[in-house]
């Protein structure tokens, strides 16, 4: 009898000890899992697991995990150093190449083509065209390396984006006309200000326009609207206007009427509202402006849209990666850096960008900035 009671008490004590040990081990593994998740989320902190375990086997496992983390951290540090050195080398090489290339282009402009034969003039045009392409390529590499070093400081000041869009689009009028692209500007009647660097914003606009000139099939649209208005449905006065072309004009449809920018007798004119760009009440810079107004830390969306045959849904997640081009676009002469540079510029100014491919192959590149 006493033997049975003693045996039962012994088994109870053993079971209690095993339960306590199991609970301690389970709690230790749970904490180690939480610490490991935190380490993986912030690898730059170079942390290791410090979980105390009641099991030698678990301690050995944690030790092996720490060895792997240390190896991974060393590899990451080496990679970061190599990446930084590569970016500095690209920046230095690009800077060194720009000076002689600028001289080459200067001498090409001095050549008196009137004394050349037709074949020589064509050859000269080819040399100039390739030289300018090389110049753009070098500038792209220089800007990319500079922006990816994460120490670039851009101005943060109010910029009238509506005026900048009008001026930039008009500067590309001959290119749009040559590609027979219908261009529409859906801009609010009021001046819209956002917080950023004017030169960086102009570079983004140039990249978006060049992207459209390279890949658009028939039209290019630019729309400005408050971020809270889904897809810009309340842009401007809240009226939508279709894409159209009138005598090769660039249409502006911020008020729902054809108030665009057109050519008349070789000149560029602005018609419709009869007011200067930016006249009237202003959008942004911390004030409320009624329905659709943007103030304080609210956001403005710049939506660049064109129809295209070169982009599929599989391309969308990779569009802003370095050197990425869809298979259908590889013969266009592009470097694949324009969208990457635009993304880096936007993020450096505190903005963001995303791509959407909608029905009938309509590509939207939507930038969001604070105002």
Q: Are 28 and 54 in contact (CB under 8 A)?
A: yes
Closest CA relative to residue 140, chosen from 366, 349, 348, 336: 336
Contacts 24+ apart (CB under 8 A), 243-250: 243/182, 243/184, 243/219, 244/182, 244/184, 245/182, 245/183, 248/177, 250/169, 250/170, 250/173, 250/176, 250/183, 250/184, 250/185
Which has more pLDDT, 74 or 279? 74
Alpha-carbon gap, residue 348 to 200, rounded angstroms: 10
CA distances 11 to 23, 71, 244, Å, are 18, 45, 88
The model's pLDDT over 32-84, given as tens digits with 9 standing for 90+, comes to 888 888 887 887 777 777 766 667 777 788 788 888 888 888 888 888 888 77
**pLDDT for residue 29:** 79
Three-state DSSP class for residue 135: helix
Q: What is the pLDDT of residue 34?
A: 80
Percent of the chain whose predicted confidence (pLDDT) is above 70: 75
Question: Is residue 91 helix, strand or coil?
Answer: helix
Residue 233 has a pLDDT of: 54
Length of the chain in terms of residues written: 371
Average pLDDT on 266-275 reads: 37
Eight-state DSSP code of residue 29 = H
Closest CA to 182 of 128, 250, 267: 250
Q: Which backbone phi and psi does 31 adopt, to 5 degrees? A: -65, -40
Taking only the tens place, the pLDDT of each residue in 175-225 is: 999 999 999 999 988 888 999 999 999 999 999 998 899 889 999 999 999
In the chain, which ranges are continuous DSSP H helix?
Answer: 2-41, 56-110, 118-148, 161-171, 173-179, 198-215, 338-348
Helix (H, G, I), strand (E, B) or coil at 203: helix
Q: Please determine, for residue 306, whether its predicted confidence score (pLDDT) is greater than 60.
A: yes
Side-chain half-sphere exposure of 81, counting CA atoms within 13 A: 6
Question: Angle at which helices 56-110 and 118-148 pack, to 10 degrees?
Answer: 150
DSSP state of 185: E
Burial (CB count within 10 angstroms: exposed 0-12, middle 13-18, buried 19+), residue 75 = exposed
Query: What DSSP string describes 101-133?
Result: HHHHHHHHHHS-GGGS-HHHHHHHHHHHHHHHH
The CA angle 128-136-262, to the nearest 5 degrees, is 85
pLDDT per residue over 326-365, tens digit each?
655 544 555 668 888 899 899 989 899 999 888 878 899 9
Quick: pLDDT tens for 94-153. 778 888 888 888 888 888 878 888 888 888 888 888 888 888 888 877 777 777 776 677
Q: At what angle do helices 338-348 and 118-148 cross, to 10 degrees?
A: 40
CB of 123 closer than 8 Å to CB of 164: no
Alpha-carbon span 51 to 28, nearest angstrom: 6
């Amino acid at each position: 009898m006493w033997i049975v009671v003693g045996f039962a008490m012994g088994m109870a004590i053993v079971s209690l000890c095993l339960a306590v040990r199991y609970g301690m081990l389970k709690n230790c593994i749970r904490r180690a899992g939480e610490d490991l998740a935190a380490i993986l989320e912030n690898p730059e902190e170079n942390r290791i697991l410090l979980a105390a375990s009641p099991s030698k086997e678990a301690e050995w496992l944690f030790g092996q995990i720490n060895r792997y983390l240390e190896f991974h951290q060393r590899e990451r540090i080496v990679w970061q150093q190599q990446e930084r050195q590569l970016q500095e080398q690209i920046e230095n090489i690009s800077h060194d190449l720009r000076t002689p290339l600028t001289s080459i282009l200067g001498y090409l402009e001095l050549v008196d083509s009137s004394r050349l034969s037709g074949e020589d003039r064509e050859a000269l045009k080819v040399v100039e065209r390739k030289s300018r392409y090389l110049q753009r390529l070098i500038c792209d590499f220089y800007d990319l390396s500079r922006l990816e070093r994460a120490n670039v400081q851009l101005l943060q000041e109010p910029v009238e984006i509506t005026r900048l869009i009008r001026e930039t689009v008009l500067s590309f009028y001959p290119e749009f006309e040559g590609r027979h692209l219908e261009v529409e500007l859906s801009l609010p009647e009021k001046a819209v200000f956002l917080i950023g660097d004017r030169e960086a914003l102009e570079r983004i606009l140039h990249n978006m326009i060049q992207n459209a000139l390279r890949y658009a099939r028939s039209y290019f649209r630019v729309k400005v609207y408050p971020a809270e208005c889904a897809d810009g449905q309340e842009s401007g006065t809240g009226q939508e206007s279709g894409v159209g072309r009138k005598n090769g004009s660039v249409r502006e449809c911020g008020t729902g009427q054809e108030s665009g920018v057109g050519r008349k007798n070789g000149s560029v004119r602005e018609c419709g509202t009869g007011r200067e760009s930016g006249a009237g009440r202003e959008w942004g810079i911390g004030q409320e402006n009624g329905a659709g107004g943007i103030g304080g830390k609210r956001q403005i969306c710049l939506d660049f849209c064109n129809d295209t045959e070169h982009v599929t849904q599989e391309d969308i997640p990779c569009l802003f990666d370095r050197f990425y081009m869809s298979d259908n676009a590889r013969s266009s002469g592009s470097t694949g850096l324009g969208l990457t540079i635009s993304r880096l510029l936007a993020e450096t100014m505190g903005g963001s960008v995303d791509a959407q491919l909608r029905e009938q192959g309509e590509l939207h590149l939507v930038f969001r900035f604070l105002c």
